[in-house]
Each structure stands twice: as structure tokens, then as C-alpha cells.
């Protein structure tokens, strides 16, 4: 019997570590949305730094601006822009999800994650083909 109760205890501990109570941010949808929000946020921040500097070249000369902006029109950068927009759209929709969790109701956080993914897919279906045609047909 002591052995049996020790086994039960271990099993209980394992279950407890697999299914933490009272947190949105450990495991499953809550954690992965948090991870993706951080990664996309950092990527967008560093692009923003570069993008302000390249746009500032309009104040230098038309030639300087055109020389740099033409780098954004290559096939490789076209794929990069698609990834950037994918990151922005996820960060935007998941940010709205965070606001809904904070001000409305946290118990819908899991279903809202799938709403975010669904809206992200629909938005990217609207964006990616048109953008890639613009990039690859020029």
C-alpha cells in the first residue's frame, strides 16, 4: 500500500505539472500566442528602425531615396515583406485578443487564439498573392 500511494502521488504531481491551474501563459495556446507576440514584436521593431532611416532619405535627394527603395522591390525582399506583413497582422490581431482578455473575459482566450489564426489566414490570403504578383511581375 505505501508503494501504491507513492505511485498515486507521483502520478498526481505529473498531472499537476502538465496542467497548471490559474495561468494563461504556461503551455498550449496561451504560451504560444505569448511567444509569437514577442518574436513578431521584436522583428517589427527592428524593421521600424530601418524603415524610418530609409524613408528619411526623401529629405536627402530623389536619387538617394529611389536607389534604396528599389532594393525593396527585388524578389528576395518581396518574400521578406510578405513575412513582415504576416508578423504585423499576427501581432495586430493577437494584440486585440490581449485587450479582449484584459477588459472582457479571459475564459475565451483559447478560442480567441483560433479566431486570431483564422483572421490571420484570411488576411494573408488577401495580401500575399496580390503582393507577390506585384513583386514578381516587375
Partner 1 sequence: MTSTIAAPRSPYARAPRKNGVNWEKWGWIYMRVSGVVLVVLIFGHLFVNLLVGEGVSALDFAFVAGKLSNPFWQWWDVSMLWLALIHGGNGMRTLVNDYATTRVARGILKSAILVAVVVLIVLGTLVVFTFDACPAGQPADLLPTFCQAL
Subset of 58-87 contacting partner 1 (CB under 8 A): 58-59, 61-63, 65-66, 69-70, 72-73, 78, 81, 85
- Looking at the Cβ atoms of 101 and 113, the one nearer to partner 1 is 101
Q: Does 43 bind partner 1 (CB under 8 A)?
A: no
Residue 7 CB, shortest distance to partner 1, in Å, is 27
- Phi and psi at residue 26, in whole multiples of 5°? -120, 105
Neighbours of 65 (CB within 10 A): 16
According to the binding rule CB under 8 A, does residue 134 interact with partner 1? yes
DSSP at 70? G
CA distances from 65 to 30, 50, 58, 82, 135 (A): 42, 13, 5, 22, 19
Contact between 105 and partner 1 per CB under 8 A = no
CB closer to partner 1 out of 30 and 78: 78
Angle at 137 between CA 69 and CA 57, to 5 degrees: 5
Nearest CB to partner 1, comparing residues 28 and 130: 130
Cell 488576411 maps to which residue? Answer: 123
Instruction: Mention every residue, 6+ apart, whose C-beta is less than 8 A from residue 109.
Output: 24, 29, 30, 97, 101
Contact between 137 and 129 (Cβ < 8 Å): no
> What's the min distance (Å) between Cβ of 89 and partner 1?
8
Which residues form the interface with partner 1 (CB under 8 A)? 38, 41-42, 44-45, 48-49, 52-53, 55-56, 58-59, 61-63, 65-66, 69-70, 72-73, 78, 81, 85, 88, 92, 95-96, 98-99, 102, 127, 130-131, 134-135, 137-138
Amino acid at each position: 500500500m505505501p508503494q501504491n500511494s507513492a505511485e498515486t502521488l507521483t502520478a498526481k504531481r505529473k498531472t499537476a505539472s502538465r496542467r497548471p491551474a490559474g495561468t494563461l501563459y504556461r503551455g498550449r495556446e496561451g504560451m504560444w500566442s505569448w511567444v509569437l507576440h514577442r518574436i513578431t514584436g521584436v522583428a517589427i521593431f527592428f524593421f521600424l528602425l530601418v524603415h524610418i532611416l530609409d524613408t528619411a532619405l526623401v529629405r536627402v535627394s530623389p536619387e538617394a531615396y529611389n536607389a534604396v527603395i528599389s532594393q525593396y522591390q527585388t524578389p528576395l525582399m518581396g518574400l521578406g515583406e510578405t513575412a513582415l506583413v504576416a508578423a504585423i497582422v499576427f501581432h495586430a490581431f493577437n494584440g486585440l485578443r490581449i485587450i479582449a482578455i484584459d477588459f472582457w473575459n479571459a475564459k475565451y482566450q483559447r478560442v480567441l487564439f483560433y479566431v486570431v489564426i483564422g483572421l490571420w489566414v484570411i488576411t494573408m490570403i488577401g495580401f500575399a498573392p496580390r503582393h507577390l504578383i506585384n513583386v514578381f511581375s516587375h
